């Protein structure tokens, strides 16, 4: 008999979105039992790495407006963002910033004691609220610490969730493995919020935490929910070599140059007015063009790159204003940016797509919500603006937490629990993976898979590459890698790594299929064979559904309220 | 007793001891060291009431400070309700015994019993 | 066995003054000297109590301590006393929150300001004073 | 032991061997799985290193290529999540924040952090740290801590902020607790991590919970069990300086701090 735990509300994932949801639910319903389940220790989630800021309109008296934030976001999304959703984000944000502040967030302050804001790419007002260059870290800390106030929030640290159980209409529960003991459990519950974050580790060169794999996306996908707009992957211009750790936009904001091997500031050619500070997709494309045309450098590891030069800023300014950048490059690349330019290259940084939800974060199955980077309520459309993602996590964490808690309070008795699905899942992971036979090293397979993604579905895409990539991914999946060498039960990360890899295959396939389907260039999706935006045929969201044979593609309309699509120029 | 009060006593006794031990040692050094320990001289000291009183105060301060210090170390070494209670009462008892034993010397020597 | 798996460093870890800098050494010396002084105090009180048994007993006791071994013990006690007092004063002041630095934004490479040079200096001074006192004491004791 | 330290004169002999174009070091990794055996075994692995290679990367190299079964916790690989604390050459450090080259040694011994129960190999159990953290009431205590639609921020000048900012750098990695000498024997001690967080919230001008927290830390295994050994601050990778926080907090109890 499988061990079983019963709770009222489950929250899978403990990043910004998950923790914000937990607090809101606990506030709304102080007597329901809330479980936050995470494959990491709760406070170790990827969200701690967010650096730059969280966007919110705080100073109307200085000229900022809700409309301006909405329009910047709509334009940033290349008109694929749902405008009602964007309006919701923008109007909810100010009070979120104040709420965090009241819970102890150490926002950086202006001399008058009010909260500080800075400039960020794509905005027409400096509205990125910041706390030094560790915004995500402090937000996580504030939320984690605030959770300690509530005795009805229980943390399940290091529980790997493997599947979502429902009866076709209503949510019933999940299955999970307690990593410290290796025991398989079911959780029965009335409601679920999925907040498992982004999946950037499907690319080999990535700013994401090593744990940011698509297991959450895949769980929902396998359970029959659609993945939306997965072809839109944001590449940040400056990932440092060799690790891929992010060098924040602030480095260019302070006046850093991007140089090619001729020593030219090549951005002059691509964005004559904004130069290095054009939007992320534009700069990344320019960098790849330079590299493709032979004006890149070779890093010691053999990877092509360009140089980010900060030397002219002077050691003092670097120490004072970009301490984290200096620390990162000294520590992880052995280079002092005051003496030497940094080797950088566009790097996988964000997934605009995710589990298809409506404006309230509800998925297609009753009792299941999704929030944060794993969800796609279409707030970012085809390209996310910096500082809008932590904002999204907070707002939809709160919304889903509140709605799900109310749902729990009002809900009737649960449907009969489909035990056969648990048995199926047990078979899938234990017979299919844990006891699977094979000889290929799964870690090599993972490396190969992520490199295919990097090579075939990177900043620029075209039909040949994408189709080839899809073929390679499917071939690779046939290899006999599904086996786990480590046979111990306790803390078996070999096992969870292979499960993560398993989910990467399905999600990589979805990304590639969406990218093949979308024969246009929009936002982060740049097709060399279709260089223009095509509003006639592709002003729509992509939906991909799981099917045992081949994934099924559908579309979903974009909500446009005020702003008709126009040409996007910076 | 609240731990902060105990530790304030610990610091207080330490401070008191600094001053008094300094006097005590200076007395030893005010004359030739070996002379200071001669039977007659020592007895004379005990007969000198203020000095005897000072010795008594030092005795109390250092016993309290020293055994509380020992209590702290033992408390950190091992835990458990019974053990900790034993340590707490044990150190009070030890303090009391040492003070009693030392006081006996001071009192009896001071009154010239020997 | 439970202790083993709890992976506590145990007494060995507590009593190992290396690895973590001079403040850890000072902690260790303070502990050792405190215990040593307590042991001496007990001994000393026993020693002085013999005065009640008359001059013969007292002299007998004195002759026991006035040996090279006894003198060495006494020299060590002097050292312990001076170090424990000097360092004890530093610890008391610091534990009241004085002289441990002021909170501020740390800068990479991070250097804790509570481990500042004043603290380190005080420790060295306590050690030096203890050494001086020991030399002086040894001079007096072994001098005659 | 697999590696032989080569005396300087013989260096040429090493250079001629085919693999020596790339520098390698030996990792000695402690292996233990308590339910199976309570004995720690050390296993040795040779790994290639470059100037930027971190200890975490070399452990992952072993996990991916030489022995899949090593149990190790990691996530952000950039010293901000606090997962990868372990004992490296005898001292607690973050694996992702320690470069092999810094250690100046060809043999690197990697063990689980002390003072935390071992789950398996290098992964240790954090329950005590988390529950102690919770006991410190690590949140703003203030009746007005929930906002309504027209609330603005509490005013806090940059100077007010500096009074606690440093202590909120804490990533809960536990290195301090593993270095502290009191922690080595006292199973009930709050520990530097928790005490520093008690101070972090107490020093925040938005907070009104000072009385509560002082009462919590003033117990027989509370703040008084810190003897300012400074080892916590010596190992803290984020410059939190818990030793300072603890002494400042104690200042309140002794009546020095306001
Ligand atoms: C380097 C970097 C810098 C960034 N900077 C900014 C910025 O300045 N501003 C901004 O707005 N955005 C920024 N972002 C984006 C932003 O940080 C993320 O979008 C956001 O943090 C995502 O949070 P989340 O709550 O959705 O998920 P995450 O924080 O990714 O959390 C995912 C959670 O899901 C759990 N989980 C996953 N799978 C499972 C499973 N199978 N079982 C159980 N639990 C599971 C994980 O343990 C984790 O707790 C940045 C991103 C990166 C990579
Ligand atoms: C005369 C001046 C003295 C001063 C200023 C002094 C000061 C101190 C201080 C401040 C402490 C606490 C250290 C901490 O919190 O870590 C301490 C501990 C201690 N003292 Fe003293 N002390 C003095 C004399 C003595 C004497 C004479 C004895 C012996 C009887 C003694 C025995 C101890 C012991 C056993 C400890 C506990 C050690 C520990 O906890 O680490 N002290 N002392
Ligand atoms: S205080 Fe420093 S060492 Fe201790 S847990 Fe926090 S970050 Fe880690
Ligand atoms: S190491 Fe321990 S003793 Fe105090 S100063 Fe740090 S908590
Ligand atoms: S992996 Fe996050 S701190 Fe080392």
HEC per residue, chain C: CHHHHHCCCHHHHHCCCCCCCHHHHHHHHHHHHHHHHHHHHHHHHHHHHHHHHCHHHHHHHHHHHCCHHHHHHHHHHHHHHHHHHHHHHHHHHHHCCCCCCCCCCCCCCCCCHHHCHHHHHHHHHHHHHHHHHHHHHHHHHHHC
Nearest ligand to residue D246 Cα:
4
Instruction: Note the helical H segments in B2-113.
Output: 3-29, 33-36, 39-47, 49-77, 81-110
Q: Looking at residue D231, what is its pLDDT?
A: 97
Checking ipTM against 0.90, whether it exceeds it is: yes
Q: For residue D42, name the pLDDT band (cuts at 50, 70, 90).
A: very high
**B25-72 tens-digit pLDDT:** 787 777 777 778 888 888 888 898 998 999 999 999 999 999 999 999
Length of chain B: 114
Average pLDDT, chain A: 94
Distance D234 CA to ligand 4 centre (A): 10
Place of tokens 């008690």: D198
Q: Compute the Cα dihedral for A262, A267, A272, A275 and give only its sign.
A: negative
**C20-68 tens-digit pLDDT:** 999 999 999 999 999 999 999 999 999 999 999 989 999 999 888 889 9
Category of A78 on φ-ψ map: left (φ > 0), alpha (ψ -120 to 50) or beta: left
CA-nearest residue of chain D to A45? D81
Q: Compute the Cα dihedral for B38, B44, B50, B52 and give only its sign.
A: positive
Atom of ligand 4 nearest to the CA of C20: 1
C51·B15 Cβ contact <8 A: no
Contacts for D225 with CB less than 8 Å, ≥ 6 apart? B72, B75, B76, D182, D186, D189, D190
Question: In A70-124, which ranges are E strands?
Answer: 117-118
Residues A455, A237, A40: CA angle, nearest 5 degrees? 80
B69: which chain C residues are within 8 Å (Cβ-Cβ)?
34-35, 38
Nearest ligand to residue A239 Cα:
1
Contacts for D156 with CB less than 8 Å, ≥ 6 apart? A109, A113, D205, D206
CA C124, CA D216: separation in Å to the nearest integer? 35
D88 lines ligand 5 (CB under 6 A): no
Q: How far is D242 from chain C (nearest CA, A)?
A: 9
**Chains A, C: CB pairs < 8 Å:** 7
Q: Which of A325-339, C15-29, D1-15 has the lowest mean pLDDT?
A: D1-15
Reported as type and span, the H/E element at residue A553 is strand A552-557
Distance C26 CA to ligand 1 centre (A): 44
Q: Looking at residue A51, what is its pLDDT?
A: 87
Checking if the pLDDT of A318 tops 60, the result is yes
How many other C-beta atoms lie within 10 A of the C-beta of residue A1?
4
For an interface test with A, which of C108, C109, C110 has the most A Cβ atoms less than 10 Å from its Cβ? C108
CA D177, CA D167: separation in Å to the nearest integer? 15
D227 lines ligand 4 (CB under 6 A): yes
D98 touches chain A (CB under 8 A): no
| CATH 3.10.20.30 is held by the domain D3-124 | yes
Peptide bond before C109: cis, by omega within 30 degrees of 0?
yes
D86 lines ligand 5 (CB under 6 A): no
Atom of ligand 4 nearest to the CA of D183: 2
A48·D138 Cβ contact <8 A: no
Fold of C20-98+113-143: 3 helical TM bundles of succinate and fumarate reductases (1.20.1300)
Q: How far is D228 from chain B (nearest CA, A)?
A: 14
Residues of A labelled catalytic: 236, 252
D234·C24 Cβ contact <8 A: yes
Fold of B3-110: 3 helical TM bundles of succinate and fumarate reductases (1.20.1300)
pTM attached to this predicted model? 0.95
Q: Are A195 and A374 in contact (CB under 8 A)?
A: yes
- What is the location of CATH 3.10.20.30 in chain D? 3-124
Q: Are D26 and D108 in contact (CB under 8 A)?
A: yes
A321 against A395, higher pLDDT? A395
Reported as type and span, the H/E element at residue A451 is helix A442-456
Which residue has a Cα nearest atom 13 of ligand 1?
A50
D187: which chain B residues are within 8 Å (Cβ-Cβ)?
79
Q: Are A433 and A488 in contact (CB under 8 A)?
A: no
Place of tokens 């406070």: A43
Q: Looking at residue C4, what is its pLDDT?
A: 54
CA A93, CA A99: separation in Å to the nearest integer? 10
**A104-141 tens-digit pLDDT:** 999 999 999 999 998 888 888 999 999 988 899 999 99
Q: Looking at residue A133, what is its pLDDT?
A: 83
Q: Looking at residue C144, what is its pLDDT?
A: 60
Interface of A with D in 179-218 (CB under 8 A): 180, 209-211
Which among C49, C51, C89 has the least Cβ separation from residue B43?
C51
HSE-CB for A451 with a 13 A CA cutoff: 8
**D191-204 tens-digit pLDDT:** 999 999 999 999 99
Calculate mean pLDDT across residues A494-513.
Answer: 97
For an interface test with C, which of B7, B11, B112 has the most C Cβ atoms less than 10 Å from its Cβ? B11
CA A157, CA C59: separation in Å to the nearest integer? 70
Walk across the sheet containing D41-48 and list its strands.
D41-48, D24-31, D107-111, D85-88, D91-94
- Residues of chain D that touch chain B, judged by Cβ-Cβ distance less than 8 Å: 182, 185-189, 218-222, 224-225, 253-254
CA A100, CA A95: separation in Å to the nearest integer? 9
CA B28, CA B19: separation in Å to the nearest integer? 15
Q: Are A544 and A510 in contact (CB under 8 A)?
A: yes
CA-nearest residue of chain C to D112? C7
Strand partners, D47: D25
Residues A161, A162, A164: CA angle, nearest 5 degrees? 95
CA D28, CA B37: separation in Å to the nearest integer? 61
Calculate mean pLDDT across residues C64-83.
Answer: 93
Most confident stretch, A295-304, B35-44, D12-21 = A295-304
D188: which chain B residues are within 8 Å (Cβ-Cβ)?
79
Q: How far is C18 from chain A (nearest CA, A)?
A: 26
Which residue has a Cα nearest atom 3 of ligand 3?
D236
CA D82, CA D94: separation in Å to the nearest integer? 8
**A23-39 tens-digit pLDDT:** 999 999 999 999 999 99
Structurally, at CATH architecture level, domain D127-253 sits in Orthogonal Bundle (1.10)
Q: For residue C141, name the pLDDT band (cuts at 50, 70, 90).
A: confident
Q: Please count the helices (runs of H) and the strands (runs of E) in chain D.
A: 11, 7
Q: How far is A109 from chain D (nearest CA, A)?
A: 6
Q: Are C42 and B23 in contact (CB under 8 A)?
A: no
CA B16, CA A100: separation in Å to the nearest integer? 49
B63·C85 Cβ contact <8 A: no
D257 lines ligand 4 (CB under 6 A): no
For an interface test with D, which of B6, B75, B83, B91 has the most D Cβ atoms less than 10 Å from its Cβ? B75
D243 lines ligand 4 (CB under 6 A): yes
Checking if the pLDDT of C76 tops 50, the result is yes
């Amino acid at each position: 008999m499988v061990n079983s735990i019963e709770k009222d509300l489950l929250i899978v994932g403990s990043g910004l979105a998950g923790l914000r949801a937990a607090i809101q639910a606990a506030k709304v319903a102080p007597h329901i039992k809330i479980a936050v389940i995470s494959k990491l220790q709760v406070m170790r989630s990827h969200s701690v790495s967010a650096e730059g800021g969280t966007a919110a309109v705080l100073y109307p008296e200085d000229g900022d407006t809700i409309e301006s934030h909405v329009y910047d976001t709509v334009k940033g999304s290349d008109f694929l963002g749902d405008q009602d959703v964007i309006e919701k984000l923008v109007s909810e944000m100010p009070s979120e910033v104040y709420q965090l502040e009241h819970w102890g967030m150490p926002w950086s302050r202006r001399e008058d004691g009010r909260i500080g804001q800075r400039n960020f790419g794509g905005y027409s007002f400096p509205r990125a609220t910041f706390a030094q260059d560790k915004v995500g870290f402090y937000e996580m800390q504030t939320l984690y610490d605030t959770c300690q106030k509530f005795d009805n929030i229980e943390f399940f640290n290091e529980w790997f969730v493997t599947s979502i159980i429902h009866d076709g209409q209503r949510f019933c529960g999940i299955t999970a493995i307690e990593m410290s003991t290796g025991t398989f459990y079911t959780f029965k519950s009335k409601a679920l919020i999925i907040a498992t974050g982004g999946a950037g580790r499907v690319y080999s060169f990535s700013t994401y935490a090593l744990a940011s794999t698509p297991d959450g996306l895949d769980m929902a996908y396998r359970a029959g929910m659609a993945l939306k707009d997965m072809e839109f992957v944001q590449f940040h211009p400056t990932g440092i070599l060799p690790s891929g750790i992010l060098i924040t936009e602030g480095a260019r904001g302070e006046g850093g140059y991007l140089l090619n091997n001729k020593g030219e500031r090549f951005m002059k050619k691509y964005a004559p007015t904004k130069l290095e500070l054009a939007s992320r997709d534009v700069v990344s494309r320019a960098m790849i063009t330079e590299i493709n045309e032979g004006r890149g450098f070779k890093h010691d590891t053999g990877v092509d790159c360009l140089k980010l030069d900060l030397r002219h800023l002077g050691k003092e300014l670097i120490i004072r204003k970009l301490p984290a950048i200096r620390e990162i490059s000294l520590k992880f690349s052995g280079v002092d940016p005051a003496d030497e330019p940094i080797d950088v290259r566009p790097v996988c940084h964000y997934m605009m797509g995710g589990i298809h939800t409506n404006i309230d974060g509800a998925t297609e199955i009753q009792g299941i919500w999704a929030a944060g980077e794993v969800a796609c309520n279409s707030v970012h459309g085809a390209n996310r603006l910096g500082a809008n993602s932590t904002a999204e996590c907070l707002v939809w964490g709160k919304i889903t937490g509140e709605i799900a808690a109310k749902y729990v309070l009002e809900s009737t008795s649960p449907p009969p629990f489909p035990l056969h699905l648990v048995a199926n899942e047990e078979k899938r992971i234990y017979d299919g993976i844990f006891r699977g036979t094979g000889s290929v090293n799964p870690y090599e397979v993972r490396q190969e898979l992520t490199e295919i993604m990097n090579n075939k579905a990177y900043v620029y895409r075209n039909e040949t590459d994408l189709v080839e990539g899809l073929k390679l991914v499917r071939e690779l999946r046939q290899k006999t890698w599904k086996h786990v060498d480590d046979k111990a039960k306790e803390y078996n990360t070999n096992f969870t790594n292979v499960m993560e890899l398993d989910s990467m295959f399905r999600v990589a396939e979805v990304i590639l299929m969406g990218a093949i389907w979308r024969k246009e260039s929009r936002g982060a999706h740049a097709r060399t064979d279709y260089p223009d935006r095509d509003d006639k045929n592709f002003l729509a969201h992509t939906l991909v559904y799981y099917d045992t044979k081949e994934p099924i593609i559908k579309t979903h309309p974009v909500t446009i309220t005020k702003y008709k699509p126009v040409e996007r120029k910076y | 007793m609240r731990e902060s009060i105990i530790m304030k006593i610990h610091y207080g006794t330490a401070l008191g001891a600094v001053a008094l031990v300094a006097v005590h040692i200076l007395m030893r050094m005010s004359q030739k060291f070996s002379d200071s320990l001669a039977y007659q001289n020592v007895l004379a000291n005990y007969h000198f009431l203020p000095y005897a009183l000072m010795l008594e105060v030092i005795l109390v301060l250092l016993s309290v400070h020293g055994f509380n210090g020992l209590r702290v170390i033992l408390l950190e070494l091992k835990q458990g309700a019974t053990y900790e209670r034993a340590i707490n009462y044990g150190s009070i008892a030890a303090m009391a015994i040492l003070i009693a034993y030392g006081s006996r010397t001071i009192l009896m020597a001071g009154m010239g019993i020997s | 066995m439970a202790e083993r798996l709890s992976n506590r460093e145990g007494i060995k870890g507590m009593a190992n003054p290396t690895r973590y800098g001079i403040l850890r050494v000072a902690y260790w010396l303070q502990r050792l000297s405190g215990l040593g002084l307590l042991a001496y105090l007990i001994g000393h009180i026993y020693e002085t109590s013999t005065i009640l048994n008359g001059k013969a007993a007292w002299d007998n006791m004195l002759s026991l301590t006035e040996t090279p071994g006894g003198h060495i013990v006494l020299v060590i006690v002097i050292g312990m006393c001076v170090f424990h007092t000097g360092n004890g004063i530093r610890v008391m002041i610091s534990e009241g929150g004085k002289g441990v630095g002021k909170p501020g934004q740390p800068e990479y490479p991070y250097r804790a300001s509570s481990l500042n040079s004043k603290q380190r200096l005080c420790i060295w001074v306590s050690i030096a004073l203890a050494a001086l006192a020991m030399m002086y004491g040894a001079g007096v004791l072994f001098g005659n | 032991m697999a590696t032989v330290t080569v005396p300087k004169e013989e260096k040429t002999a090493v250079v001629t061997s085919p693999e020596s174009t790339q520098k390698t070091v030996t990792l000695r990794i402690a292996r233990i799985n308590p339910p199976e055996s309570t004995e720690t075994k050390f296993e040795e692995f040779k790994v290639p290193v470059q100037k930027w290679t971190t200890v975490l990367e070399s452990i992952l190299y072993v996990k991916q290529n030489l022995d899949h079964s090593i149990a190790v916790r990691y996530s952000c690989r950039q010293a901000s999540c606090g997962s990868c604390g372990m004992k490296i050459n005898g001292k607690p450090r973050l694996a992702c924040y320690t470069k092999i080259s810094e250690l100046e040694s060809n043999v690197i011994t990697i063990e689980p952090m002390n003072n935390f129960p071992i789950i398996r190999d290098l992964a240790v159990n954090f329950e005590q740290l988390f529950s102690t953290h919770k006991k410190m009431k690590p949140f703003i205590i203030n009746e007005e801590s929930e906002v309504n639609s027209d609330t603005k921020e509490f005013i806090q000048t940059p100077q007010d902020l500096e009074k606690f900012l440093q202590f909120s750098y804490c990533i809960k990695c536990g290195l301090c607790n593993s270095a502290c000498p009191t922690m080595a024997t006292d199973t009930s001690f709050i520990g530097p991590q928790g005490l520093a967080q008690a101070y972090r919230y107490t020093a925040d001008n938005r907070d009104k919970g000072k009385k509560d927290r002082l009462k919590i830390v003033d117990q027989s295994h509370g703040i008084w069990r810190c003897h300012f050994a400074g080892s916590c601050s010596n190992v803290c990778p984020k410059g939190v300086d818990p030793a300072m926080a603890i002494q400042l907090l104690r200042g309140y109890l002794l009546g020095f701090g306001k």
